[in-house]
Every structure is written in C-alpha cells, then in structure tokens.
C-alpha cells in the first residue's frame, strides 16, 4: 500500500499541474519555459512512480522514479543557467 505522505505529495503535485494548466499562457511566455515546465512535469512523473511502486510491486518503478529525479535535476539546472543568464543581460 502506498504511504500517506507519498499520496499527499502526489495530490499537491497535481495541484501544481493545475496551476500550470490555468496559467499556461503566461507561463509559456517565460524565457525557456519548455525546460522549466518539463522539469516540473518530470518531477510530477517521479511522484507518480513513487505511488505506483507501492501499488504494483515487481515492476521497475523505483528505477523510473529516480531516473525522473535525475532528468528533472538536469532540466532545472539548464533552465537556471539559461534563464538567469538572460535575466542578468542588460535590456
């Protein structure tokens, strides 16, 4: 059975997804928005795999979860570099 904090994390993650859907037009105008939103989506996928790992034991959800964490970290790092560099450039 999935643990309680894992389910709450997933629900909060879905709340984040709701924010993305509602504010999609504004978010899409951010610099390198695809990198940021992909990092967020991959994080949500990782939280989903955490729950699924408990529901469907035997499948490699744990490996997928940590792969998603790595992808999310990579995308977030690239976005930080690109976005902040652009923000620091004089207009």
Partner 1 sequence: MNLPVFLLDLLCLPLLGWALYTALAARLRGLRRDYLWCLVVVLALRIFNDISNVLYSSGISAWLENYEDYVGLLLPVAWGLLLLSLVQHRARRQLERSEERLSSLLDALQEGVATLDTDGVFRFANPAASRILGVLHGSLPGQPLTSFRQPLPQHDHCPLTFNGSALPALHYELSLRRPDGSERSILLSTSLMPRKPGLRLCFLRDMTEQRQAEQSLRQAEAKLGQTQRMEAIGTLASGIAHDFNNILFAISGNSQIALDSEGLNIDARESLREIDTASRRAADLVSQILSFSRREQRSSRDLAVLPIVKEVLRLLRSTVPPQIRISLEHGGDELLVHAEPTDLHQLVMNLCTNAIQELARDGGELKVSLACAEPPAALLAEGRLRPGPHCRLCVADNGGGIDPGARPHIFEPFFTTKEHGEGTGLGLFVVNGIVERLQGRLELESSPGSGCSFTIWLPLASSLTAEDGNAPDRLSQRGGRGRLLVVDDEPAVNRVLALLLGKLGYEVSTFSDSYRALSEFQTNPERYDMLLCDISMPGLRGDELVRRIHAIRPELPVVFCSGNPEVLAAGTTDELGIRSVLKKPVDKSALAEAVAGCFSDQAD
Residues in contact with partner 1 by CB under 8 A are 3, 5-6, 8-9, 12-13, 15-16, 19-20, 23, 26-27, 29-30, 36, 40, 43, 47, 62-63, 66-67, 69-70, 72-74, 76-77, 80-81, 84, 87-88
**Minimum separation from the CB atom of position 59 to partner 1 (A):** 15
Q: Name the residue nearer to partner 1 (CB basis): 55 or 70.
A: 70
**Minimum separation from the CB atom of position 71 to partner 1 (A):** 9
CB atoms within 10 A of CB 75: 21
The 3-state secondary structure of the chain reads CCCHHHHHHHHHHHHHHHHHHHCHHHHHCCCCHHHHHHHHHHHHHHHHHHHHHHHCCCCCHHHHHHHHHHHHHHHHHHHHHHHHHHHHCCC
**Minimum separation from the CB atom of position 43 to partner 1 (A):** 7
**Minimum separation from the CB atom of position 54 to partner 1 (A):** 13
């Amino acid at each position: 059975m999935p643990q309680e904090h894992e389910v709450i994390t997933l629900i909060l993650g879905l709340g984040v997804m709701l924010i993305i859907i509602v504010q999609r037009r504004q978010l899409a105008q951010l610099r390198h928005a695809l990198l940021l939103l992909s990092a967020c989506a991959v994080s949500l996928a990782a939280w989903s795999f955490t729950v699924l790992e408990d529901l469907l034991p035997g499948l490699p959800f744990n490996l997928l979860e940590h792969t998603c964490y790595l992808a999310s970290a990579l995308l977030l790092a690239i976005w930080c570099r690109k976005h902040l560099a652009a923000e620091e450039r004089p207009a």
